[in-house]
Amino acid sequence: MGKGQELYKKAKTMIPGGTSLLSKRPEQLLPENWPVYYSKSKGCHVWDLDGREYIDCGLMGVGTNTLGYAREEVDEAVIKVVHDGNLTTFNCPEEVYLAERLLNMNPWAGGVRYTRGGGEANSMCVRIARAYTGKDKIAICGYHGWHDWYVSVNLGDSDALSGHLLPGIPTSGVPKGLRGTSIPFHYNDYEELLGIVNANPDLAAVKMEVCRNFGPENNFLEKVRALCSERGIVLIFDECTSGFRETFGGLHMKYGVYPDMTIYSKTMGNGYVIAAVLGKKEIMESAQGSWISSTFWTDRIGPAAALAALDVMEKTKSWEYITEKGLQNKARWQALADKYDLKINQWGIPALAGYTFDSPNALAYKTYITQEMLKKGYLAGTLMYTCLAHTQEILDGYFEALDPIFADIRDFEDGKDVIKALEGPVCQAGFKRLN
Ligand SMILES: Cc1ncc(COP(=O)(O)O)c(C=O)c1O
């Protein structure tokens, strides 16, 4: 057992669930054999606690680092903050510079507030939208974090959220009184949303991801926009994850449909902690009449990192590069599947795309890919968040390594036992309580 697995065993005795982010649990990736912890990182390279080096062609920090790990320009800005002090009685000027920058980028918006996590930014949006409209209910589509207002969706139908990225989210600890306050709707199902709006005159906001797995059809976004405008409902686009991956800002810019509020997070600080809530002037002003305040929302590293990261993004046009590489990945995954006569279903915007085998063994195959790619020095499952450090050479190497693994999967489809080929249990999908 490597040092990482040893440490993880210890972690589970002290940290319930092992880690603070489900997607980084080894049980989700390669149970019992995932290296779990890192000692250092650079570009798309990560070193584990035993000093082994890997190329990250997988989660890339779960989407936090489109510029690669330890990007020099961003780290330099952070190191300057570390030298000058990250927090004082005064506020940091960077939060104003960043607000100016974000508002210039989003001319429809007139105000900015910051949080650090994406989930809390979502909660902030909900509070502001409720304060602005004086109404309570929220219609949701997509993943929006861990807070009560969102998880309460599952109080109605025990797994209504399973169609929104993450199956199995439990409601334990969420007040039952919230039942019915957040109502889910399916992406591209305008009639369903219209029904919810008609049945709930007390709807404060429609909160949704612009798109996650598939793009909009039949002018879905335009219709949602028009409906919200007509009924006085705040339209919130959660761009926590989609932001800065296909445009210099939100994915909504690609579609030319503008929200009343939006959220940027994940990659905005290229791995440093920062999230921003943007909204129309009159809506954001409602924040003044509501209690929204937190000490560490004023730290300096977040906005300083974001300013430097935005500079690098603009200079390199990172969103174009990562989208181009993502499109190439999609074509090459399909070509590999065709070569071995395997059926895969692809999903996701190019810069965070993935595929699922159309087979009852899909999860075992994903585990097998992770296991075999790890042996070849790659952190890779069945999806890839692309970054600037994914050079053509690295991606060529990745596909060369993947090819014989797809050949093995062909053998499994023809009857060879995939479970026997696994050196540990099959990975988990969705949320599960750990033993
Ligand atoms: C669209 C979206 N909203 C909200 C969140 C929650 O952000 P965080 O994990 O930083 O709380 C995520 C995280 O994956 C997300 O993808």
**Domains of the chain by residue range:** 3-70+317-421, 72-316
- CATH 3.40.640.10 holds for 72-316: yes
- Chain centroid, CA 254 distance in Å: 18
Residue 31 Cβ contacting ligand 1 at under 6 Å: no
Distance 195 CA to ligand 1 centre (A): 27
Residue 209 Cβ contacting ligand 1 at under 6 Å: yes
Residue 27 Cβ contacting ligand 1 at under 6 Å: no
Q: Give the nearest ligand 1 atom to 265 CA.
A: 10
Question: Of 29, 7, 23, which is closest to residue 425 (Cα–Cα)?
Answer: 29
pLDDT value at position 278?
Answer: 98
Residue 265 Cβ contacting ligand 1 at under 6 Å: yes
Distance 107 CA to ligand 1 centre (A): 24
Distance 223 CA to ligand 1 centre (A): 25
Residue 28 Cβ contacting ligand 1 at under 6 Å: no
Mean pLDDT of residues grouped by 10 in the chain (435 residues)?
A: 95 97 97 98 98 98 98 98 98 98 98 98 98 98 96 83 79 95 96 98 98 94 98 98 98 98 98 98 97 98 98 98 98 98 97 98 98 98 98 98 98 98 96 85
| CB neighbour list of residue 256: distance below 8 Å, 6 or more residues apart | none
Residue nearest to atom 8 of ligand 1 (CA): 118
pLDDT value at position 165?
Answer: 67
Residue 145 Cβ contacting ligand 1 at under 6 Å: yes
Fold of 3-70+317-421: Aspartate Aminotransferase, domain 1 (3.90.1150)
Residue 365 Cβ contacting ligand 1 at under 6 Å: no
Residue 241 Cβ contacting ligand 1 at under 6 Å: yes
pLDDT value at position 164?
Answer: 75
Provide the token pair at 50. 């035993």
Residue nearest to atom 7 of ligand 1 (CA): 118
Distance 146 CA to ligand 1 centre (A): 9
pLDDT value at position 179?
Answer: 95
Residue 264 Cβ contacting ligand 1 at under 6 Å: no
Residue 118 Cβ contacting ligand 1 at under 6 Å: yes
3-state secondary structure the chain: CCHHHHHHHHHHHHCCCCCCCHHHCHHHHCCCCCCCCEEEEEECEEEECCCCEEEECCCHHHHCCCCCECCHHHHHHHHHHHHHCCCCCCCCCHHHHHHHHHHHHCCCCCEEEEECCHHHHHHHHHHHHHHHHCCCEEEEECCCCCCHHHHCHHHHCCCHHHHCCCCCCCCCCCCHHHCCCEEECCCCCHHHHHHHHHHCCCEEEEEECCCCCCCCCCCHHHHHHHHHHHHCCEEEEEECCCCCCCCCCCCHHHHCCCCCEEEECHHHHCCCCCEEEEECHHHHHHHHHCCCCCHHHHCCHHHHHHHHHHHHHHHHCHHHHHHHHHHHHHHHHHHHHHHCCCCEEEECCCCEEEEEECCCCHHHHHHHHHHHHHHCCEECCCEEECCCCCCHHHHHHHHHHHHHHHHHHHHHHCCCCHHHHCCCCCCCCCCCCCC
